[in-house]
Amino acid sequence: MEHAWGYIAVFFGGLAVDSIPVFAPPAWMLAIFVVTKWDLNPWLAAAFTAAGSTIGRGILSRYMPKLTGKLFNRRENDNIAFLGKKLGGKYWTAFTFVLLYSLTPLSTTALFTAAGAARVDLWPILPAFLLGKFVSDGVLIAGGRGAVRGVEDIVQGNGSPQSIATAALGIVLITAVLFIDWRTLLERRELRFQFRILKGRG
């Protein structure tokens, strides 16, 4: 029963976090904590997290267009307009775009704000987002759990080459997701770091 509550917790964590546009940590952070505490299956937890996030982003797309002028600057609103045009295309074009976008560490707040502002059909968007988030969250949750367990083994004096490598890999993965400026990297092929991370990510 305790395990069931863990999966319920990550579901509602994803729902809550991705229903709000700013000042929210990524849902996978909460999932790593819960998965480690209750020894959950990371990929099953990722499925529940992604499901909650998908519902949350659907909710976000409905009310965010009314707030864009107040919350975002001109550059971000231009980005939202650009995304709206991308989402208004043919089914498979929109599906592929959202899937690939969701696989990156870029925030999807603008993506779903654009969907709401352009009043596009969410049918091709939500399944693509669900699939992309499941894969990306699964990698991060599994990596984060491996990092936590590896560090615990090292601290307890039970560290093996495998646990050390697992911990190092997980830490590098999470650090890269949190602190690399992925938009600059993907658009300009320039590696930059950012250290303000509490702004609507994931």
- Please provide the DSSP assignment of the chain as one string: -HHHHHHHHHHHHHHHHTTSSSS---HHHHHHHHHHHHT--HHHHHHHHHHHHHHHHHHHHHHGGGTHHHHS-HHHHHHHHHHHHHHTS-HHHHHHHHHHHHHSSS-SHHHHHHHHHTT--STTHHHHHHHHHHHHHHHHHHHHHHHHHHHHHHHTT---HHHHHHHHHHHHHHHHHHHB-HHHHHHH----B-----SS--
Number of domains in the chain: 1
- pLDDT value, residue 2: 59
Domain contains 195: no
Residue 65 covered by a domain? yes
pLDDT, tens only, 141-175: 999 888 887 777 677 666 666 656 655 665 666 66
For residue 11, give the nearest of 25, 30, 33, 24 by alpha carbon: 30
Distance CA 94, CA 102 (A): 12
Give a yes or no: residue 198 inside a domain.
no
Contact 181, 194 (CB under 8 A): yes
In a domain? residue 199: no
In a domain, 145, yes or no: yes
Residue 134 lies in a domain: yes
Q: What's the rounded Cα separation, in Å, for the pair 9 and 45?
A: 9
pLDDT tens track for 73-98: 555 555 566 666 667 767 888 888 88
Q: What is the mean pLDDT of residues 43-53?
A: 96
Asked whether 14 and 52 are in contact (CB, 8 A), the reply is yes
**194 falls within a domain:** no
Residue-number span of the structural domain to which 83 is assigned: 2-188
* pTM exceeding the 0.85 threshold for the entire prediction: no
Classify residue 92: in a domain, yes or no: yes
